[in-house]
Structure 1
């Protein structure tokens, strides 16, 4: 069994392109051109150069000595928090804006939840001199104010999504409406491994620089180019997809995906899609989706603005259904405590999304000689107010 996308845009039973007719030309233009453009030597040269000189790659693979001692295993962090803009998101936005330029697009739209993808999109638009509109749920605008300010400083227009739960799902709906109305000059930079084919594969390929570097760095540090476990948080799941990519078919590597259980899986306030979801279609692809018996999307909840999405990317749905991935759900409280623990033991303040992945060693034992790589997908600057409120700091 392959865990990569097939020629029709499916991961097993999940994926595809379920789109309104108005969007067909845009998506088809991308599908027929993305691999050719990405494999072009001049594109690769520009992409690699910007990742190195602008983003600051390669990011370090850091051995967390004190945390490893506490949990009796060998824990490494892939430090995506050290990228320019503070998260993994910029790997994808650099790639997609170069691709949009090759396709002759003049205007960029994006959706954002935690604001990191919005900041990364606004950043590359400023870099390339392109118009930028970012859609963001009204609730997320309130809880991620520093990122909203960054986007505006960078010249982006931030448009609030006022419908539904007024979070990530609704921002995505608004962005898709914009794209339908502006099909010719606009490229939609989707921030996660979700959406109609080829987006999940394209975003994953741009993010696969993460697992590519992990292999090289582990060879240097451990004398082998694979970990025993690779751990990442998933909402839509681009940081996870990038962390897993080069290990998907390597059965020596256990893939661990960490979802947001919110106030508890059965509390009615959760975003644990693997536990609560079933097959459905959202934002252009077939995947696992939290929904009612009559197919209405269930509103997700998480303390993390980046994980409260009612579905997962189709790659992750396939990893779950095929049992290739081990799925763990982490509550708000456990995630917040894990974030504080990392801060106190290693001097790194993580994003709350990342803190969900950090809770795994508390919930699941690892062996003494095992190598565990956790993708530290973002830094916690944007979440300081949430930390302050939670811990009464």
Structure 2
């Protein structure tokens, strides 16, 4: 499975993946998922929000156990973030069948669409729509970098955008969702454990900072006469790092667009996206407020107009202790880890009992081609997931 999936959406120059929502690479990944489901005799379906499902047992029976993750990527992302969870879900089912497990509850494997938000700027679109955390109206307003609306992209890929929206009936039929994911840090590497359990997901969000200045000639305009938004943006990037360090939080400007984007032109607009995360919402609010205050102070001094828009926000997710404790008992009490990364399991936690397993990442690098996990650890993750699923579905 891993060999078949590995080439899909991979850039030959960077070695990273560009599996953006509703593109040809995404279609290839979806075809791969469907083929894996049909090869195993599973009932395949796509829900109203474009999420893929493969069912063993009656989808309408209720109290189903669901596992899976996502197949899309960030720009030039790594091979494991998302796909490891999907591949492991199929492998875990194969292991349960090898063991002769008797299924007392329906089991579903899922691929949630547009988890990374790389194309339209909002993370976990598929699960957010299903959970009602992203409205259909807001989803219809989302545009990619080329100005293509989300509905048009879905339609071009063969899906009906008019159907998107909350899916409470489906979520009500799920008794538990367990997502396996490569660890995006080095806690397991430092502890020496191949597999761990998630305790909580830090609150996090994305804010867009628009710095409006005045376009002018880079070779003829005096420095004193410039309204250069790039300078204010640069100061804001430094402010984000400073405030995050002071608060013990995280703040990153990882995406920027510039207009007119000419080498010999002073920009008229610099747009930067802030990603910030912290252990609690009060700290997160304080960091973002401080960054915005610093940006506005610099903007006022430089004659720059600033607009700040919160594009997405996810509150803290404390995974349910009952399911987490049950999984811990099944696995013999592996390490319990917090994480600053968002996941579909976190989005769904408000409607469904959810839990997460992490597989050791020896470098801690994620969202990069250098992301990795050893084959032995991946196999350990499959066996851990199979043990958990067996404990949950067994008749």
> What band does the TM-score fall into relative to the shorter chain?
under 0.3
- The structure having more radius of gyration, on CA atoms, is 2
Normalising by structure 1, what TM-score? 0.26
- Structure showing the higher strand proportion among its residues: 2
Q: Which has the higher contact order (CA 8 A, sep 6+)?
A: 2
- Structure showing the higher helix proportion among its residues: 1
Normalising by structure 2, what TM-score? 0.26
